[in-house]
Amino acid sequence: MESISTPRISSQLIDSYVGQNVMVVGKVQQLRGDTAVIDADGQITANLNRDAHLVNGNAAQIIGKVLPDLSIKVMSSVDLGNNVDFKVAQAVVDATHQCRDLFVFDADKGGMMMG
Amino acid sequence: MGDSYGGGYSRTSYNAGGGDDAGGFVYGGSQGGSQSAHYLTLPTSSRRATATTPCAPVTIKQVIEAEQAYPDAPFRIDGLEVTQVTFVGMVRAISPQTTNVTFRLDDGTGIIEVKQWLDADKQDDTSKQAFALDSYVRVWGRLKSFNNKRHVGAHVIKPVADYNEVQYHLLEATYCHLFFTKGAPAAATVAVYNWLSNSEGGNEGVHANIISQAMKISIGEVLKCGEELTSAGVTYTTVDDETFAILDY
Q: Which domains does chain A have, with CATH numbers?
A: 11-101 (2.40.50.140)
Q: How confident is the model at residue B122 (pLDDT cuts 50, 70, 90)?
A: low
Q: Is pLDDT above 50 for B177?
A: yes
Residue B27 DSSP one-character state: S
Q: How far apart are alpha carbons B105 and B134 in whole angstroms?
A: 9
Q: Is B62 on the interface with A (CB under 8 A)?
A: yes
Report the distance separating Cα B181 and Cα B184, nearest Å.
9
Burial readout A18-53 (b: 16 or more C-beta within 10 A, e: otherwise): eebbbbbbbbbeebeeeebbbbbbeebebbbeeebe
What are the DSSP calls for A33-45, one per residue? TTEEEEESSSEEE
Q: Is the pLDDT confidence value at A46 over 90?
A: yes
> Is residue A25 very low, low, confident or very high in pLDDT (cuts 50, 70, 90)?
very high
Query: What's the pLDDT score for residue B1?
Result: 39
Burial pattern B97-127, b for ≥16 Cβ within 10 A else e, equals eeebbebbbbbbbbbbbbbbebeeeeeeeee
Each residue's pLDDT tens digit, B7-58? 334 444 333 433 333 344 444 444 433 444 455 544 443 344 344 467 899 9
DSSP A2: B
- A108 pLDDT tier (thresholds 50, 70, 90): low
Rounded-to-integer distance, Cα B65 and Cα A1, Å: 11
Q: Is pLDDT at B108 greater than 60 in this prediction?
A: yes
Domain B183-246 falls under CATH 1.10.3470.10: no
Instruction: For chain B, give the mean pLDDT.
Output: 78
Q: Evaluate whether B88 touches B94 at the Cβ level (below 8 Å).
A: no
As a whole number of angstroms, the distance between CA B204 and CA B194 comes to 17
Lowest mean pLDDT among A69-83, A93-107, B163-177: A93-107
Query: What single DSSP character describes residue B185?
Result: P
- Closest Cα to residue B166, out of A51, A95, A2? A95
CATH superfamily of B50-181: Nucleic acid-binding proteins (2.40.50.140)
Does any CB of chain B come closer than 8 Å to the CB of residue A102? Answer: yes
**Least confident span in B6-20, B47-61, B123-137, B149-163:** B6-20
Query: Which ranges of chain B does DSSP label H, i.e. alpha helix?
Result: 60-65, 123-128, 164-182, 187-198, 208-215, 219-231
User: How confident is the model over A6-15, as pLDDT tens digits?
Assistant: 999 999 999 9
Its pTM surpasses 0.80: no
Q: What is the DSSP string of B91-118?
A: EEEEEE-SSEEEEEEE-SS-EEEEEEE-
CA–CA gap between residue B86 and residue B107 (Å, rounded):
12
Mean per-residue pLDDT of chain A: 90
Compare CB distances from B113 to A1, A81, A105 and report the shortest one's residue.
Answer: A1
Instruction: State how far residue A33 is from chain B, nearest Cα, in angstroms.
Output: 23
User: Residue B7 carries which DSSP code?
Assistant: S
Contacting residues of A for B178, CB less than 8 Å apart: 99
Domain-wise residue ranges, chain B: 50-181, 183-246
Mutate to test the interface with A, among B82, B109, B179, B180 (most CBs of A within 10 A): B109
Q: State in Å, rounded, how far the first CA of chain B is from the last one.
A: 29
Assess whether pLDDT exceeds 90 at residue B202.
no
Q: Residues of A numbered 39-98 whose beta carbons fall under 8 angstroms of chain B's beta carbons: which are they?
A: 59, 61, 63, 76, 78, 80-81, 83-85, 88-89, 91-92, 95-96
Separation between Cα atoms, residue B195 and residue B216, nearest integer Å = 12
